[in-house]
Amino acid sequence: MLRKFVVTLFVLGGFILQCSVFPKLAFANIIPNLMIVLTSSFGFMRGEKEGLIIGFFCGLLSDIFFGGFLGFYALLLMYIGFLNGKFSRIFYPEDIKLPIALIITSDLSYGVICYILQFMLRSRFQFGYYFSHVILPEVLYTIVATMFLYPLILKVNGKLEDREKRRAQKFV
């Protein structure tokens, strides 16, 4: 129950930061995508199911407040969380290379899929411009934000796992 509450706080807090604080810190109108950071982090820390669920709710928040139609970002982030969850078997908390690589890949995939489904299908074929002016700066800014946010997520997840292990031992 505590885990659900803490994860909900992370999702809502990340969304509020992404909507209110980071637009004031935008570089060239680009802000980091904290929903990708949260979805990917919990996906590879906790597994496919939790990555899928957190991705769905992060995407649903984005759909409700920013989306043209309901479900696009929810489905996209749900897939990203699920695919990151596939890497939970090779996740080591002390190694930051895998999380950074997965978040970069997730954000690049997110940007390319959004371009294809929102722009290219409407005959806007300026991928080079979109990649160099939107996707790449967002990935770089997201990685900078990840350097500060990921250790916090990792620490809180570790404390929650320790608490869950202690509670499980009480019942044995």
Q: Map out the domains of the chain with their CATH numbers.
A: 2-24+31-163 (1.10.1760)
Pick left, alpha or beta for residue 99 (phi over 0 → left; psi -120 to 50 → alpha; otherwise beta). alpha
- pLDDT for 4 equals 92
Phi first, then psi, for residue 67 (nearest 5°) are -75, 150
CA–CA separation, 77 vs 142, rounded Å?
Answer: 15
Query: Which two structure tokens, joined as six digits, stand for 69?
Result: 């139609």
- Half-sphere exposure in the Cβ direction for 95 (13 Å, CA): 10
Q: What is the pLDDT of residues 104-116, one digit of tens each?
A: 999 999 999 999 9
User: pTM for the whole thing?
Assistant: 0.90
Q: What pLDDT, in 10s, does the model give residues 35-76?
A: 999 999 999 999 999 999 999 999 999 999 987 889 999 999
50-54 contacts, C-beta under 8 A, 24 or more apart: 50/81, 50/85, 51/80, 51/81, 51/82, 51/83, 51/84, 51/85, 52/78, 52/81, 52/82, 52/85, 53/81, 54/7, 54/11, 54/81
